[in-house]
A and B are shown apart, each in its own frame.
Chain A
Amino acid sequence: MIAGFALRVRAFLLRALRQPYFDAPLAGALALLAGIGLATLYSASDLDRHLVVNQALRFALGGLLMLLIARVPPATWRNWTPWLYAASLLLLVAVALHGQGRGANRWLNLGGLRFQPSELVKLTLPMMIAWYLHARELPPRWGTLLAVALLIAAPALLIAKQPDLGTALLVAASGVFAVFLAGLAWWRIFALLGAVAAAAPLAWHFMHEYQRDRLRTLLDPESDPLGRGYHILQSEIAVGSGGWLGKGWHHGTQSRLEFLPEHTTDFVFAVFAEEWGLIGVVALLALYLFIVGRGLVIAANARDTYSRLLAGSISMAFFVYVLVNGGMITGLLPVVGVPLPLVSYGGTSAVSLLAGFGMLMSIHGHRRLLPR
């Protein structure tokens, strides 16, 4: 029986590779992005080949996962969705109880395999919201909205408590985008925004000072001027010294001489901006916009509500990475640990991002009623 299962898995893998469900423009853009990412990392790490190979291996793993996910029809994913969501919530609870990690509990050790459940939630949450809204009358009303809010809040709060505000923000954003794409009436959107804006100072008013301090720290983890100010300043110097055309590949002094903090991970965008200048930045942002746009096109062409909402929210959550990371390194937003997608060094986010694009590929590949 085991042999039979192995054979079936082998056949599935072969099919996934030989006859991939595949959107060429999206895959091409992602490959280009990954290439740019590796080149930037090679420079930012001061020509550390080992690091680049590691990252390339992760891209390969993520790419494989993407092709596998793409083979599974959206309907199957839809049927599994509640179970996957429940499982990921359970893992988050497990992390809260038994997690590991430096400073923050993010990791779960599963028999020697270190695993970050919050990355899984980045996928299962939009799936869950899409699943939930798929069966409901759209556009959603207050009651539906409340249920969705609870579905979002549960994992987001668990992640924020780790604490990992950046991921919590990304997770919550993907849920919110699903609701937005579901056609929530504009007046409801503005009413909600107004309520949030009104509640913020009110909540602030009723908080204890130590809670406010916590919130300040949460929003701005390095609120001491030397720490945060120094990092942001060095990042701004790196970006600003780039000019129109940049200093050239591997000529960015801010990163090479280690003035820039975290220059292979959260601040890698600053290295890119320093070495490629405004022209490079605009080109990169255009590439990101293209990926988001292509994702939305796939969503628009999808067959059912579940597929549409899922594809749309995954695409728009991808954009949130770029916005938050870019805002951070240019000093517009507080320092939040959000990587630049497919450029920042780090495995889990690359893998989970590519898995999300696998979902898009699946939706794209299965958009016709009849399989090819």
Chain B
Amino acid sequence: MRREPLSDPRNRVRDVERETARFRARALAGFLLVALCLLALAARFAWLEIARHDEFRARSDQNRISVRSIPPTRGLIFDRNGVLLAENTAAFRLEVVPEQVRDLPATLAALGEVIALSDDDLERFAALRRSKHPFESLPLRFKLSEDEIARFSTERWRFPGVEIVPYLTRAYPLGEEFAHLVGYVGRIDAADATRLDERRYAGTTHIGKSGIERQYESELHGEPGYEQVEVNVDKRPLRVIQRSAPTPGRNLYLTVDARLQHAAREAFAGRAGAAVALDPRNGEVLAMVSVPSFDPNLFVNGIGRVDYATLLNAPERPLLDRAIAGGYTPGSTVKPYLALGGLELGLRRPEDTVLSTGEFHLPGDSKRAYRDDKRGGHGRVDLHEAIAQSVNTYFYSLAFDMGIERFSAWMGKFGFGRPTGIDLIGESAGVLPSKEWKRGRMNQNWYPGETVIAGIGQGYWVITPIQLAQAVAMLAARGVRHPPHLLRALQDGINQDPRPAPTPPAQPSIVRNPADWTAVEQGMIAVVNGPTGTARGLGEGFPYVIAGKTGTAERYSRTDETWQNIMSVAVERHQVLFEAFAPADDARIAVIVALEAGHTGAHDAAPIARRILDAWLKYDDDGGRAP
């Protein structure tokens, strides 16, 4: 050891002084260390609070503000005269706030005794519960009946957290009459969700699934409103910060007349088929029915599985919109178009005649015979008589002379073989016989015999009623095509004036020589009014001259066993059609009727067309007034 510091008092005093000085130096060093560290901490605070302030401010707002969508009210759908086809009606539904229910399974079981709950309801509710917060009110049952509301009201004390809530639901007052045309809305499903603008549909529960409801979904839906809500960490809304009201969807006015639609549907008396009535002057669809139909109201709040299976599997296929997607063999209804082609292409003059012997043979082929409808033939006929009596031989020969290329090109001008472009989803293209089609579809060469039968609307031909309606409307409008359409006007709010919807532009006439058109028109007038016409007598008592053409097509091939079996039931043997327009010289309506089973076009389809024309006469005041 060195010296003992405490032994010398002087040393001790000096040591104490030194120790104090040393301590003070250390205390100062310590203070500087503390100050430095706190400065560094302050710098860190400055970095977060100043340099990155904007970023964190935004994130804090993102945390606290939740934007809730307020769904808009869906636009209404009216017919051309303002008759409601789709409306929003008040209904009541049962809602449950899971958080406020003490024992949920027991409550659901007890509820089930008061108000019927299907397995579908319970499953949907369970799925909702998984995706929503416990403080949110979740729908359990829709469309409560008055009876159910009354029963629940008396037992309400038993169910805390369960509430009856009013809501708007889509309703189709005319039900089956417009099921295919107007369509229906349904719950948004996974498939819909992929094609939706999430932002616009955030609060929306239903979406157009078919028909006009689907076609004009974006017009009908409207713009959602927003509510900025301050939420806590559980996303429970605490207060509304800002609110903007939703913009309701546009109201649509269709071109159809509900009264004409009703009459057309009644005229079918339940027989499967379709009818389309167009205004040949502008392409407006005045009526479009498909029979049988279904009740679209069933789909709005989720159709039950059993109901859906019944509709889907019914042999008469009520869900199919025959008017735009039904495939029919046109039969003789194509003859006027072919006749006009013969004239326009310079292959025939109106006065040129053909001898109908009952059988037509291709040159150099005596075996294969193409028959006339009348045993022994119609004798020598010109164009007028050929149309009036629907003489097959005339058109066999004309089609053969025209050749398949010119045949398909000409018929294509009437819109066969491709969709008309009507503003309705799900339209079929049909089949226009052509070399290209056959090669593409069957990879086979074309045979001349196929041209011959194509001339009477048989063979590969498939048309939809809307196509035939478009074609006959073109004929009525002297070759001018006005694309058929359903939307007449749009209305931004019930207080605003409806503004006309833009109509698809008309095409220039395909008829070069008006005399050609007149010749064909005269033939079609003779069908209804001539002494030999296939539908003679149909125009009796009608104030305007009707021009028309019947069509009767084989439902089954003659070699088919079914045909043999059905021979006895003549009424079921054919697909029958009728096309007409009136008044013949200044057409204001073109109508076609297609029936899936019937005796002849004149016997079964033409009377339905006449009843549609009668209804049109009764209801049309030709004002062309805007709704």
Contacts and interface: CB of A to CB of B under 8 A. Distances in A.
Interface of A: 137-139, 177, 180-183, 234, 236-244, 253-254, 257-259, 273, 277-278, 281-282, 285, 288-289, 292-293, 296-297, 299-300, 305, 308, 312, 316, 319, 322-323, 326-327, 330, 332
A9 B20 CA distance: 36
A179 to B, nearest CB: 10
Interface stretch (B226-234, B487-495, B570-578): B226-234
A200 B31 CA distance: 28
Given A239-B45, A285-B41, A330-B45, A137 B64 contact: no
Contacts of A289: 34-35, 38
A258 B231 CA distance: 10
B57 A257 contact: no
Contacts of B41: 285, 322-323, 326-327, 330, 332
Nearest to A282: B42
A202 to B, nearest CB: 27
A308 B23 CA distance: 8
Among B19, B28, B31, B48, residue most surrounded by chain A Cβ atoms (within 10 Å): B48
Contacts of B64: 253-254, 257, 259
Nearest to B53: A243
5 contacts: A180-B30, A181-B23, A183-B22, A253-B230, A323-B37
Main secondary structure of the interface of B (DSSP, over half): helix
Nearest to A236: B48
A241 B57 contact: yes
A330 B31 CA distance: 23
A241 B59 contact: yes
Given A253-B60, A259-B64, A296-B27, A139 B22 contact: yes
B45 A273 contact: yes
B22 A254 contact: no
B63 A259 contact: yes
B238 A281 contact: no
B369 interface: no
B303 interface: no
Interface of B: 5, 19-20, 22-24, 26-28, 30-31, 34-35, 37-38, 41-42, 44-46, 48-50, 52-53, 55-57, 59-60, 63-64, 230-234, 238
Given A259-B233, A322-B41, 4 more contacts: A237-B59, A244-B49, A296-B28, A326-B41
A224 to B, nearest CB: 18
Sorted nearest first, the 10 A-B pairs with minimum C-beta distance are A240-B56, A241-B60, A257-B232, A240-B48, A253-B64, A258-B233, A278-B49, A296-B27, A183-B22, A241-B56
Contacts of A332: 41, 44
A253 B232 CA distance: 9
B292 to A, nearest CB: 58
**Residue from A241, A300, A312, A322 with most neighbouring chain B CB atoms (10 Å):** A241
B30 A277 contact: no
A308 B24 CA distance: 9
A240 B48 CA distance: 5
Contacts of A322: 38, 41
A240 B23 contact: no
A305 B19 contact: yes
Contacts of B30: 177, 180-181, 296, 312, 316
Contacts of B59: 237, 240-241
A190 to B, nearest CB: 13
Contacts of A180: 26, 30
B53 A240 contact: yes
A238 B31 contact: no
Given A239-B48, A326-B41, A137 B5 contact: yes
A134 B18 CA distance: 15
Contacts of A297: 27
Interface-central residue, B30, B44, B233, B238, by most chain A CB under 10 Å: B30
A108 B60 CA distance: 41
Given A254-B63, A257-B238, A293-B31, A240 B19 contact: no
* Most chain A CB within a 10 A radius of its CB, from B19, B27, B31, B41: B27
B60 A238 contact: yes
Contacts of B38: 285, 288-289, 319, 322-323
Nearest to A299: B27
Given A243-B49, A323-B41, A292 B60 contact: no
A176 B294 CA distance: 88
A300 B23 contact: yes
Contact of B57 (A137, A138, A243, A327): A243
B23 A183 contact: yes
Contacts of A242: 49, 53
A4 B120 CA distance: 84
Nearest to B39: A285
Contacts of B49: 239-240, 242-244, 273, 277-278, 281
A43 to B, nearest CB: 16
Given A237-B63, A241-B53, A257-B64, A181 B45 contact: no
B353 to A, nearest CB: 91
Given A285-B41, A285-B42, A300 B27 contact: yes
Contacts of B46: 278
B24 A300 contact: yes
A115 to B, nearest CB: 31
A177 B23 CA distance: 12
A234 B48 CA distance: 12
Contacts of B45: 239, 273, 278, 281-282, 326, 330
B63 A253 contact: yes
A292 B57 contact: no
User: Which of B22, B34, B57, B233 has the most chain A CB atoms closer than 10 A to its own CB?
Assistant: B34
Nearest to B25: A183
A319 B38 CA distance: 9
Nearest to A289: B38
A234 to B, nearest CB: 8
Contact of B44 (A237, A305, A319, A330): A330
Nearest to B47: A330
Contacts of B53: 240-243
Given A241-B60, A257-B233, A281-B45, A319 B55 contact: no
Contacts of B24: 300
Nearest to B1: A137
Contacts of B56: 236-237, 239-241
Nearest to B64: A253
A288 to B, nearest CB: 7
A249 to B, nearest CB: 16
B23 A312 contact: yes
Contacts of A308: 20, 23
Nearest to A327: B41
Which of B19, B34, B49 has its CB near the most chain A CB atoms (within 10 A)? B49
Contacts of B55: 240
B27 A181 contact: yes
Nearest to B51: A240
- Tell me which of B24, B45, B64 has the highest count of chain A C-beta atoms within 10 A of its own C-beta: B45
A177 B238 CA distance: 49
A305 B59 CA distance: 53
A341 to B, nearest CB: 13
Nearest to A239: B48
B239 to A, nearest CB: 11
In this complex, the member of B22, B41, B50, B53 whose beta carbon has the largest number of chain A beta carbons within 10 angstroms is B41
A259 B26 CA distance: 43
Contacts of A258: 232-234
- Most chain B C-beta atoms within 10 Å of own C-beta, residue among A139, A237, A273, A323: A237
A263 B42 CA distance: 20
B368 to A, nearest CB: 81
A244 B50 contact: yes
A242 B23 CA distance: 40
A327 B41 CA distance: 7
Nearest to B30: A316
Nearest to A309: B23
A177 B49 CA distance: 32
Nearest to B29: A180
